[in-house]
Structure 1
Amino acid sequence: MQTLLDFQQRFAKFLIPLALFIGTYFFIKSPYFLENSSTLTFAVSADLLLTIPIVYFLLIRKTSIPKTTVVPMMIIGLAIGFFSLPEANQEYLQLFKTWFLPVIEVGVASFIIYKVRKAVLFHRKQENKSLDFFTALKTTCAEILPKPAVVPFATEISIFYYGFVYWKRRKLAENEFSNHKESSSLALFFILIVIVAIEIVPIHILLAKWSEVAAWILTILSAYSGLQIFGFAKSLMKRPIAVENDRVLLRYGVMQEAEIPIEDIKKITLTTKEFDKEENITRLSLLGEIEGHNVLIETHNEQIVHGLFGIKKTFTKIALHVDKKGEFKAYLENKL
């Protein structure tokens, strides 16, 4: 009930600016505006670009909604202005687009970079503790970005961080368990990198005969994909499975993760047998069956595994690989 009430309150804060935008649009299309457009253009432009975003800011200023969402609200006002105002009345919109919008975008980008850098520095100071960089970054991004953008943005930053910044060897604590040393995951990822590297040159040459621009676009995308795969592989080594605060934190790099309350664990089984599709077992892996598993965890209630870019999947059975599976099972059973 409380969740529904919170949703309704949040929705209302977006509904009021939306109603103001709609009202302004119909006012612009009214005969009164058309007859007095020369004197009303500035007022209407100011409403779209400033007044309505300020009203939105006042509505969200004491909520958990990121204040940076005011910028998208300004962009919406700008788009409505270009769509509805006659071209002869768009001088203030052009002025805002040319001079003010870039300054606002640079300011927001600088603020995000500052907050991300702050999270990185804080993480470095806490290296001997159980703080996880990806988790800390998601928490930081949730304060400054719209909810749909949090996980994709944090994932992209973390891929770069784990792949090219964090080279120090990760020492496991007593409550942490690696899942990459005896698994085929790393080998599979590096095979993918090799395949991308081998095929990128001949494909570029062939495609260049048709279009030089298309060839370079595909080459840049392929190179970026290779860097991402490298970051994925490195994150496997830096984000071990952990048991803390009466929870099991299942991690598969930055690609998948699940959080299971220990009291909700029904059974832990050491097994490598293949499963039938009818058994409806979720895997903590990106490449599915070809990676293999040696542990099966069953839960009393449905849990959620979070995948790439915020994709979610529920499960009551999850198969995964743990390097020291016996120690992992014994540690969990002792907690149970």
Structure 2
Amino acid sequence: MNRALNFHRSLIIFGIPLLIIGVMILITKSPIFIINQKSLSIGITFDLLLTVPFVYFLLIRKTKVPKISIISFLIIGMVVCYVIIPPKNQYYLNLFKTWIFPVLELSILSYVIYNLTKAIKRYKSNRNKSVDFFTALKNTCLEILPKGAVNPVVMEIAVLYYGFIYWKKRKLNENEFSYHKNSGTISLLTAIICIIAIETVVFHILLSKWNTPTAWILTFLSIYSGIQIFGFIKSMFKRPISIENNKLFLRYGIMNETIINLTDIDSIEVSSKDIELDKVTRKLSFLGELESHNIVIRLKEENTLIGLYGIKRTYKNLVLHIDNKIEFKNQIMYALENRT
């Protein structure tokens, strides 16, 4: 019953604005539009840029749908307007793109930063919790962004933050553990960046002789890939594994993470023996078998591993690398024996 009601409500919320957009498109295909092209172009432009977002706002104002999702219909309206309105009649669309839309973008960015700052302050106010930027960022974006936009936005901001903003050395607390010093992952990813850099230069020179725009597009994609990998590397230094409040927070930079209740652990073993990976047994590292491991955690029941862009996979056994493996195991065993 609730599913049917939610589907009906969603159909109304998204269906009415989309119906208006559809009507606008049909008008531009009619003979009336050809006769009154200039005046109708102005009306359709204002409907797509103002009426549609306003109608959507009225439909969601008393729901839990984030108000910031209005920007989605604004962007859709801009794209449709650009496609269906003749270039000579896009004066008001160009004004909107030049003066109003950039202001909206800055406002949204400021709103995200403001809410993120508040979230981090809430973390700092609780002395029992360590401040984790990535977690705070996700929680903030979940509150203010449409669900489908959260993971891409979080990942892009996190890559820039860890790669180019957060340079301060991260000191580990007694309950925190590093996992990058002896695993060889940093060397492997650094080598990949170097390979990308060399190939980018070579392919750019070769492709520019054939097609310059294509050469620059592929160069940009290669640079973007290198930036992401660099952000991944830096995040491994800044997001240690930790044991807090009877929970084990397992993080592999911003690439993979999972939370395990200590009471759900069936056994923990210090072992570097080869282990077959499948749907039951997974590695915390996104590199899989390319990275060595020295810890095997077996659970009493299934848990969820969250990967890049929010991809979820279940597991019951998890293998990982910890630099100080003995202390890691001892702290977990001690916490299990003395849990309240």
Query: Which residue type is aligned with residue 203 of structure 1?
Result: F
1:242–1:249 Cα contact (<8 Å) kept? yes
2:182–2:323 Cα contact (<8 Å) kept? yes
Q: CA deviation at 1:307?
A: 1.4
**5+ residue gaps, structure 1:** none
Q: CA deviation at 1:144?
A: 3.6
Counterpart of 1:98 (choices 94, 99, 114) is 94
Question: Residue 113 in 1 paired to residue 126 in 2?
Answer: no
Q: Deviations over 1:96-116 (max 9, x none)?
A: 421124434212321233245
74-83 or 290-299: bigger deviation: 74-83
The aligned length equals: 332
> Could you say if the C-alpha distance between residues 321 and 104 of structure 1 is closer, same or farther in structure 2, counting changes exceeding 3 Å?
farther
Q: CA deviation at 1:11?
A: 5.1
Question: If the length of structure 1 is used for normalisation, what is the TM-score?
Answer: 0.82
Counterpart-to-counterpart distance in 2, 1:57 and 1:197: 46
Counterpart-to-counterpart distance in 1, 2:82 and 2:19: 18
Question: Residue 258 in 1 paired to residue 258 in 2?
Answer: yes
2:326 counterpart residue number: 326
- SS of the residue 2:251 aligns to: strand
1:68–1:108 Cα contact (<8 Å) kept? no
234-243 or 281-290: bigger deviation: 281-290
Counterpart-to-counterpart distance in 2, 1:153 and 1:209: 36
Counterpart-to-counterpart distance in 1, 2:117 and 2:184: 30
CA RMSD of aligned residues (A): 3.4
Q: CA deviation at 1:169?
A: 1.3
1:267 counterpart residue number: 267
Query: Which residue type is aligned with residue 331 of structure 1?
Result: Q
1:64–1:143 Cα contact (<8 Å) kept? no
Query: Which residue type is aligned with residue 238 of structure 1?
Result: K
125-134 or 211-220: bigger deviation: 125-134
Q: Deviations over 1:45-87 (max 9, x none)?
A: 54443233212112223434232221221333455556667x5
Question: If the length of structure 2 is used for normalisation, what is the TM-score?
Answer: 0.81
Query: Which residue type is aligned with residue 251 of structure 1?
Result: R
2:154 counterpart residue number: 154
Counterpart-to-counterpart distance in 2, 1:25 and 1:203: 42
Counterpart-to-counterpart distance in 2, 1:212 and 1:19: 41
Q: CA deviation at 1:195?
A: 2.0
Q: CA deviation at 1:26?
A: 5.8
- Aligned runs of 1:167-316 on 2, under 5 Å? 167-277=167-277, 280-316=280-316
> Could you say if the C-alpha distance between residues 155 and 41 of structure 1 is closer, same or farther in structure 2, counting changes exceeding 3 Å?
closer
> Could you say if the C-alpha distance between residues 3 and 303 of structure 1 is closer, same or farther in structure 2, counting changes exceeding 3 Å?
farther
- SS of the residue 2:299 aligns to: strand
> Could you say if the C-alpha distance between residues 3 and 216 of structure 1 is closer, same or farther in structure 2, counting changes exceeding 3 Å?
same
2:66–2:143 Cα contact (<8 Å) kept? yes
Percent of aligned positions that are identical: 45
- SS of the residue 2:232 aligns to: helix
> Could you say if the C-alpha distance between residues 11 and 272 of structure 1 is closer, same or farther in structure 2, counting changes exceeding 3 Å?
farther
2:45–2:93 Cα contact (<8 Å) kept? no
2:271–2:296 Cα contact (<8 Å) kept? yes
Q: CA deviation at 1:42?
A: 5.7
Counterpart-to-counterpart distance in 2, 1:110 and 1:68: 13
Counterpart-to-counterpart distance in 2, 1:246 and 1:3: 36
